[in-house]
Amino acid sequence: MRAGQYAGHDAVVSKGWWAAHKWLLLRRVSQLGILGLFLLGPWFGVWIVEGSLASSLTLEWLPLTDPYLLLQMLLSGGRPMQVAWIGAAIVVVFYLLVGGRAYCAWVCPVNIITDAAAWLNRRLGFKSTANFSRSTRYWILALTLLLALLTGSLAWELVNPVSSVYRALVFGIGSAWLLLVALFLFDAFVSRRGWCGHLCPVGAFYSLLGKASVVRISAVARARCNDCMDCFEVCPEPQVIRPALKGEASGAGPLILSPNCTNCGRCIDVCSKDVFRIDTRFNNSTNNQFLHKTEVAP
């Protein structure tokens, strides 16, 4: 990214606007579409999906349960019904396949808020003043589970921003809106990508599912990289890119194997050299690169 240009400028020029925003737009369709399905019932009386992201029943036969919520219920002394166990098993299997933190990028409505805050932060060139270790989210995750155990309640769910989005849209102005506004301001002006990237226990929980997930982002054409840094600029977890993109000399394969990769696809969007693509964990051979530096066109 050259001075004065936004991340992805070269990709728009070389690939066109749609190709440079495809995965971003698909994610927004996914996030808003899922949220819309949940709101059809309360808003219009069309009950395709009943419940919320915590626990739902689709078309009166498909149960889906947030396994993080189920774990809190168990620790609080609750006895989940069989349908909750089935719903949680379906969700766990799904994210073991597509990547645990795909939940963050493709489902979680809070991601829209934090992405907007990150965009504003980049545009204003605002320097964040607060830095948190990325391991902080795991400590917060442990704390939420400990709270459930000690209090016998779902204490975290009272302030969970994911649940707050749903409450804010269904019940209107209230404390939920204030929480979401505070989250936006925090990410925009205090700590860039602070919530999703460093603090959110929901993301921390789903990253644990992502350790063994099948679907991965691959820097399959990393030899083409021209070090523009656009992918690092837009990635919500930029630390996950380098081992795959720059690890050829040390024998590292091109797959991004970190469980904190959200499989959002923005690196694919903004790369003018088409370095990245969606792949599977079974395709991580260093001999699988289809373009080496000696083959790069001038």
Contact between 239 and 265 (Cβ < 8 Å): no
Mean pLDDT of 20-30: 97
Instruction: Give residue 278's pLDDT.
Output: 96
Question: How many whole angstroms separate alpha carbon 27 and alpha carbon 33?
Answer: 10
**Cα–Cα distance measured from residue 225 to residue 210, given in angstroms and rounded to the nearest whole number:** 26
**If you average pLDDT over every residue of the chain, what do you get?**
90
Q: What is the pLDDT of residue 286?
A: 75
pLDDT digits 0-9 by tens, 35-75: 999 999 999 999 999 998 999 999 999 999 999 999 999 99
pLDDT band of residue 295 (cuts 50, 70, 90) is very low
Residue 292, pLDDT score: 46
218, burial (CB in 10 Å: exposed 0-12, middle 13-18, buried 19+): buried
Quick: pLDDT tens for 156-209.
Answer: 988 899 888 887 887 775 777 888 899 999 999 999 889 999 999 999 999 999
Q: Where are the alpha helices (DSSP H) in 9-134?
A: 9-15, 22-44, 67-75, 82-98, 102-106, 110-124
- Write the pLDDT tens digit of every residue in 77-98: 999 999 999 999 999 999 999 9
The torsion defined by the Cα of 171, 119, 22 and 255, in degrees rounded to 10, comes to -110
- Pairing state of beta strands 62-65 and 55-58? antiparallel
89/275 Cα distance (integer angstroms): 35
Bridge partners for 51 per DSSP = 56
Say whether pLDDT at 297 is over 50.
Answer: no
- Say what the pLDDT of residue 296 is: 39
Q: Record the tokens describing residue 55, joined without a space.
A: 């626990």
| pLDDT tens-digit series, residues 209-259 | 989 899 999 999 999 999 999 999 999 999 999 999 999 888 899 999 999
Nearest to 180 by CA among 114, 126, 101: 114
Q: Is 232 helix (H, G, I), strand (E, B) or coil?
A: helix
Cβ count near 262 (within 10 Å)? 28
Predicted confidence at residue 4, as pLDDT, reads 62
pLDDT of residue 5: 77
* 3-class secondary-structure state, position 261: coil
Strand, helix or coil at 64?
strand
* DSSP state for residue 270 in the 8-state scheme: H
The candidate with the shortest Cα–Cα distance to 65, out of 81, 78, 76, is: 81
